Structure 1
Amino acid sequence: GARSLNIELQKELNPPGEIRVERFGWTFCPGDKVMQVENDYDKDVYNGDLGVVSRIDMEEGELDVNFDGRDVTYGFGDLDELVLAHATTIHNSQGSEYPAVVIPLSTQHYPMLERNLVYTGVTRGKRLVVLIGQSKALEIAVKGARAKRRWSKLGEWIMEMKSKRA
């Protein structure tokens, strides 16, 4: 998934050098693209914010991320708030746009082959969208033959509210 892609993309785009910190299953290096994965009101950064690692201070145990021209400092113990973001999931990309988007499609991930997910992924790309994988996977997603029934208690809740009013 996105985690494996991030590890491989980091090797190609920003190979770990001497200055790096390894925490919570990730290796962070200056120049890495990262995503904030939870709201942190004290730092004024929010789930989905994208930035670039700008500094790592091993002596102080701190890492700085530049979010749109503003550096935010993280203690090494707070790095569970960040993940590499060379690649991300379609879910995490919602509400954002990117110059280029690459969407892998595989029948191996059959439950993820939904028309709305492909549409959301394709509409994230501003200049370039590349679909890679199996044509059969794209066909399954686009046809949307698997009608997805949403299970909720909404009907039950409405009936309960009606009976309380009577």
Structure 2
Amino acid sequence: MSKVRAFTILEMLINLTIMSIIMGLIYFAYASFVKQVINYQVSIDEQNELTTSYVQLRTDFFNAERIVKSYKGFKVIPYNNKEIEYKITDKYLIRRQVHMLDTLSINKLTISSDFNIITKEDLITKMIVETTLFDEPIEFVIAKDYAPNLKLKL
């Protein structure tokens, strides 16, 4: 009589246990990798949004003929007279231009301005924006140097 060679139930259970442990480790490694990739993407998006807002704010200041302080914000008046309105809330700096609306999360905003006696406008000369990036506080400074004809009127 020939003897049939096969695995016993005990050998199959041990094999199944070992394979389950290996598959669990592979799943854990994959899940950790995916989580790191998602966190990295979120941090890159956060950095890109802050950089875009900073560049836009600097461009608005640079292209402005004057920046007039208002009750809850300020207006950027460029040479082409297409006003850009900024509104300041407790947590956000909101930029509105025609049909576009952009926001920047802020912790604190400090504005320096000079009052122009002739035009009766409060012109912003410097702004310090404090915000967070990667859960770390950062600040950036934006200044406006006005044309001589407006400086003489200050």
Same fold (TM over 0.5): no
Name the TM-score, length of structure 2 as normaliser: 0.24
Name the TM-score, length of structure 1 as normaliser: 0.23
Q: Which has the higher contact order (CA 8 A, sep 6+)?
A: 1
Q: Which has the higher helix share?
A: 2
Larger Rg: 2
